[in-house]
Amino acid sequence: MASLSSDLFYDILRRLDGATLASAACTCAAFSSISKEERLWENVSSSMWPSTNREDVKTLISSIGGFKKFYADCFPLIVNKEVPEFRWNDYLEYPEEWTEAEYYGDMDEFESVSPSDFVSIVDIRFKDKTICSKVLWGIPDANGFNGWFYNCPFRIDLLSYSARDDDHEGEVTLSVSDGLPPIASMERERKDGKLWQELRDGIRLSWIVVNRKIKQAANLSSWCPLGGQRHWPTDKDFLIRFGSILPAKDILPCQVVECILIMKFRVIRTEGEGVETTLKLTELSMQLGDMEGTHVNGRNSLLVLKEALSCHRSKNYSEALESCHLYSKVQSELKEEKMRNESRFLKFLSQLQKWNLGPHDKI
C-alpha cells in the first residue's frame, strides 16, 4: 500500500458506491484521507440522485455542508420506533387536553418556518434506470400567513396539470424498451396482473426534502413501495404508495404522522400494430396524514417536516418498513375501535327511540 500513489487510490475509490466508499474509509489512513474529497461524494450522489447534477442543486448542497454530509443524511431511510401503542382513552382525552392553539400549532414557533425554506429533490427509477428527476423550490401556492395554505390540507403536487392531459411536453412514460412486459389488452392484464407486478417490483422513489435555513436534509420516501392498488380509480390506473412515519411530538395529539407519497401511472397504449405497451405518470404527490386518516394542515405540516429532518434513520430497509407496519397496525386498531364505539352508540340511540327518549333525557 505504501508504494502506491494517492492518485491510484483516488481512482479506485471513485468507482465505489456510497456505502462501500464509507466502509473503505474505515480501513486505513490513506483511504480515510482521500475519502474526504468532496468530488468523490458528488459523483456518488449524482449516481444515486441524478437531480443533484443541476448547478443550482450543487450550490444548495454546498451551502448546507457539502455532498458527503448530504449523502450521509439522505441515503439512510427515516425510522420512527416511537409509534405510541393504541389506547382508546388517549384519543378520547384529546379535546379536553389540547387547546385550539396547541392543536393547530404555536404561532411563535411557526413564524420560524417558511414554505420558501424547503426544497424537494425527487428522482424516480425503474429497474435501475432513471425515468424522472425534478426539483421544486419552495411549496407551491403557499402565499402569506393568513392564506388558505396554512389552514387547508397540506399537499405538494410535483406534476403540472399539462403533464396529465394530452399535452406531451414534459411527460414521464414507461414502455417495453424500459423493461415493461408487453400486454395485448387490459382484459388480459386484469387476469394475470403481469404488468402490475413488474411495475411494483421495479419502481423506486426518492423524495429528499432540504431546509435551507437550518441546513438539514432527509429522504422522506421508503424507496421501495409500501403498497398499491391496481385499477384505481379506473381499470387503466395503477396507484403506488411510498412514505415514512414522521415525529409530531408537541405538534399534534397523535405524536406521529404518516408522510404519504402517491404515484399514479395510467396505461395509454397496449401492444398493437407497431406500438409498444406504454404507461404515463399522471400523479406524484405528498401529503401528511394523522392517525385517524385526516390530512394535516399546511401550518402543522411545515413544523412536522422541519422536525423530520433531524429524526433517526437507518440503512436497514427492514427497519423502515417495520416502523411503517407498526403505524398501520396502531391505525387499524384505532379505526376498529372507533367503528365499534359508533356501532354501540347507534344501538344506544335505537334503544332510546324504542323508549321514546332523546340522547340527553334522563333514564
The pLDDT value given to residue 361: 57
- For helices 88-97 and 317-354, give the axis angle rounded to 10 degrees: 80
The pLDDT value given to residue 178: 92
Query: Once rounded to an integer, what is the mean pLDDT over residues 233-253?
Result: 91
* Tens digits of residue pLDDT in 337-351: 777 777 777 777 777
* Tens digits of residue pLDDT in 268-325: 988 765 578 899 999 999 999 988 888 999 999 999 999 999 988 888 888 888 888 8
Ranges 83-87, 101-105, 219-223, most confident: 219-223
The answer to whether residue 69 scores a pLDDT higher than 60 is: yes
The pLDDT value given to residue 96: 43
The pLDDT value given to residue 92: 45
The answer to whether residue 20 scores a pLDDT higher than 80 is: yes
The pLDDT value given to residue 174: 93
pLDDT band, very low/low/confident/very high, at 172 (cuts 50, 70, 90): very high
Query: Once rounded to an integer, what is the mean pLDDT over residues 168-175?
Result: 80
Number of Cβ within 10 Å of residue 117's Cβ equals 17
CA distance 8 to 182: 46
User: Residue ranges per domain, the chain?
Assistant: 6-75, 88-335
* Tens digits of residue pLDDT in 210-238: 999 999 999 999 999 999 999 888 889 99
Query: Once rounded to an integer, what is the mean pLDDT over residues 18-26?
Result: 86
Pair 82, 308: CB distance under 8 Å: no
Q: What percent of the chain has pLDDT over 70?
A: 83
Of 44-53, 111-120, 161-170, 251-260, the least confident: 161-170
Of 41-55, 77-91, 185-199, 315-329, the least confident: 77-91
CA distance 326 to 316: 16
Of 163-177, 200-214, 306-320, the least confident: 163-177
Angle at 267 between CA 265 and CA 273, to 5 degrees: 150
Torsion, Cα of 221, 226, 227, 228 (10° steps):
10
What does each C-alpha distance from 120 to 73, 152, 279 come to in angstroms?
14, 20, 24
Q: How is residue 121 written as a grid cell? A: 429533490
The mean predicted confidence, pLDDT, of the chain is 83
The pLDDT value given to residue 242: 96
| pTM for the whole structure | 0.84
The answer to whether residue 87 scores a pLDDT higher than 70 is: no
